[in-house]
A and B are shown apart, each in its own frame.
Chain A
Amino acid sequence: MSEVRHIRVKALSRVEGEGGLDVELLNGAVHDVRLRIFEPPRFFEAFLRGRSIHEVPDIVARICGICPVAYQMSAVHAIEAALGVPTTPFVRLLRRLLYCGEWIESHALHMHLLHAPDFFDCASGIELAQRFPDQLRRGLRIKKHGNELLDVLGGRAIHPINVRIGGFHRAPTREEFAPLIPRFEWGLDAVIEATRWVATFPFPDFEQPYEFIALTHPDEYAMNEGRLASSTGETWPVEKFADVFEERQAPHSTALHAVRRDSGTPYLVGPLARINLNFAQLCGVAQAVARDIGFELPCRNPFKAIIARGLELIHAYDEALTMLRHYTPDVAHVDVAPRSSSGCAATEAPRGLLYHRYEINDAGQIEFATIVPPTSQNQLQIESDLRSWLPRVLNAGDETLSRTCENVVRNHDPCISCSTHFLRVNIQRN
């Protein structure tokens, strides 16, 4: 007689949005793993249709309260690609600066309040704060810096309103940026210490055969521009995204599953992918810290994504500080003339590659929109991680098993609200 064990995590905590996890064990072996995304579909792609291209940056920002800049950046680059609008050097610089702000607030939040508690069996960031108050206080201050940068440059700390097709509605003055400089000087030292701290965490010995996918750029740590790159050594122009990758429906998920079109296999986007593919473009300080803490490449341990986030924080502070110190205001945007066209772009959201494609009519309205967020690209890989992880913990009780499965999921900082088109864990032992 077969023995079935079902384990269900009803609602995953410390992830953005609503989803769950169902695990079915048959005769002590993993039979099925389903990352269930039950957050209702949000239909952003559908209600962008018929809207002016000029409304798109503010509409797509509402997809996520953590990474609105990512949605704005992929959108404006895609629409500008469709319309043949060049990105001026000044606008390019401001967009990287805005992205630095978002990476700082998002990575600081995930490292300190969402991910770090897992390494100390803490149920929440609040519990961790009682054990490590100084580290948590530092992390919260780092997060605040990111929001402050978004506030000055984006017009608001959350859901920025200063982004437009062709650039920005208004370029901040030197005086507006000046107060940020001493804070970011403190912050750069603070994120170096934070990264050294997380590097001492007790990491499980767990490696996965990931195919990493990220943007790559020869001259800079890719954020807004570059070619798609794989850890297989392949690269493609962003325009080939839909030829290389496809989204598939899964009955248990309102998020689509992205896979490689040729092999049907999952891939990983996000900080770990970027660090592995683009380490040479990291700033010198981040590279030096990585070497100093013994961070070896390739790193295929998803638990060490927290170190990757720390290294990216160092890079974001370093780059932002350089830009703030040398900032000289210039023309904030170029004018845009609508025409019937289509275009796409991918940028690096804090959680990974974010692809947008738009079709535009002569009136400058969106005819068709495709948005592929990082979490839907990582979803199948997360299920694969769980299949590899579960045999290690099968003898554990349901509570421990559920908790460690949640830890595996949180390695990837899934943003279900973004991906819905996603968390609870149900474990079924048969």
Chain B
Amino acid sequence: MERTLIIGVGSHFGDDQLGWRVAEMLSTQPRPGVRTTSIASPDALLHLPGGDDHWVIVDAGVDRDCTGSILRLEWPSDNIPAVRPRGTHDLGLVASLKLVEALGDLPRRVMLWIGFVREDGTASEMSEQAEQLACEIANRIRGELSAASVAVEERDECTKLR
């Protein structure tokens, strides 16, 4: 059985919770072969236990021109936006993935989902728009995992949240 790890990247704050919220939604109905985890920064990818065949990474991004949209990419890609570098001493998502890859620890398949939100985590609550993006991403990931013959029960998270 293929081992899939869904990784939400985020924080406790505002729309930056998006990645964690998606991981939480997908964890409510655990399925064989699929696990979820939440991390606060991409360099935590370097310390995840190995053995997975497939990573699904979900993070929030901020781009004024793309707010409200979802970007889905398969690693490697030249089109990954610069999400989450906090400084030149910090590893962003791309650098972290490259380092995991250089160490030979990257699963054979890595999918990236980025939900573009309005702000990056200065509020305490997620905006309605970010909640909807999280629901949409969760549903699409569930659909892809189902299509890949991973048993995931269909459910409308958006309805549940409202």
Binding site for B on A (CB under 8 A): 13-17, 65-66, 109, 114, 125-127, 129-130, 133, 136-137, 140-141, 144, 157-158, 415, 417
Contact = CB atoms under 8 A, between A and B. Distances in A.
**B46, B95, B102 — most chain A CB neighbours (10 Å):** B102
Q: How large is the interface on B (under 10, 10 to 19, 20 to 34, 35 or more residues)?
A: 10 to 19
Nearest to A125: B99
Interface in B56-110: 86-90, 95, 98-99, 102-104
A118 to B, nearest CB: 16
Contacts of A125: 99
B160 interface: no
Contacts of A141: 47
A291 to B, nearest CB: 32
Nearest to B87: A65
A140 B95 CA distance: 14
Nearest to B99: A126
Contact of B103 (A114, A137, A157, A158): A137
A14 B103 contact: no
Nearest to A141: B47
A15 B89 CA distance: 7
B78 to A, nearest CB: 16
Contacts of A144: 47
A133 B103 contact: yes
Nearest to A137: B103
A17 B90 CA distance: 11
Contacts of A158: 41, 86
Contacts, number: 44
Given A17-B88, A136-B103, 15 more contacts: A14-B88, A15-B88, A16-B88, A16-B89, A65-B90, A109-B89, A126-B98, A129-B102, A129-B103, A133-B102, A133-B103, A137-B103, A140-B46, A141-B47, A417-B87
A109 B43 CA distance: 12
Nearest to A14: B88
Interface in B13-51: 40-41, 43, 46-47
Nearest to B47: A144
A141 B103 CA distance: 13
> Which 5 residue pairs across A and B have the least CB separation, nearest first?
A129-B102, A16-B89, A130-B102, A126-B98, A66-B89
Contact of A140 (B41, B47, B86, B87): B47
Summarize B's interface: helix, strand, loop or mixed: loop
**B86, B89, B104 — most chain A CB neighbours (10 Å):** B89
Contact of B89 (A65, A136, A140): A65
8 contacts: A14-B88, A17-B87, A126-B98, A129-B102, A129-B103, A133-B102, A136-B99, A140-B43
Contact of B99 (A65, A109, A129): A129
A157 B88 contact: no
B16 to A, nearest CB: 14
B99 to A, nearest CB: 5
Interface of B: 40-41, 43, 46-47, 86-90, 95, 98-99, 102-104
A262 to B, nearest CB: 35
Contacts of B88: 13-17
A129 to B, nearest CB: 4
A17 B88 CA distance: 6
Nearest to B104: A133
Contacts of B103: 129, 133, 136-137
Contacts of A16: 87-89
Nearest to A136: B103
A205 B18 CA distance: 52
Contacts of B90: 65
Contacts of A129: 99, 102-103
Contact of A126 (B40, B86, B95): B95
A144 B104 CA distance: 19
Contacts of A137: 103
Contacts of B46: 140
Contacts of A130: 102
A13 B90 CA distance: 12
Contacts of B89: 16, 65-66, 109, 114, 415
A55 B88 CA distance: 27
A66 B90 CA distance: 9
B47 A157 contact: no
Contacts of B86: 65, 158
Contacts of B40: 157
B90 to A, nearest CB: 6
Contacts of B87: 16-17, 65-66, 417
A129 B41 CA distance: 20
A127 B95 CA distance: 11
A137 B99 CA distance: 10
Contacts of A109: 89
Nearest to A413: B89
A129 B100 CA distance: 9
B22 to A, nearest CB: 22
B47 to A, nearest CB: 6
Contacts of A417: 87
Contacts of A14: 88
A16 B87 CA distance: 7
A11 to B, nearest CB: 10
Contact of B102 (A114, A126, A157, A415): A126
A417 B90 CA distance: 13
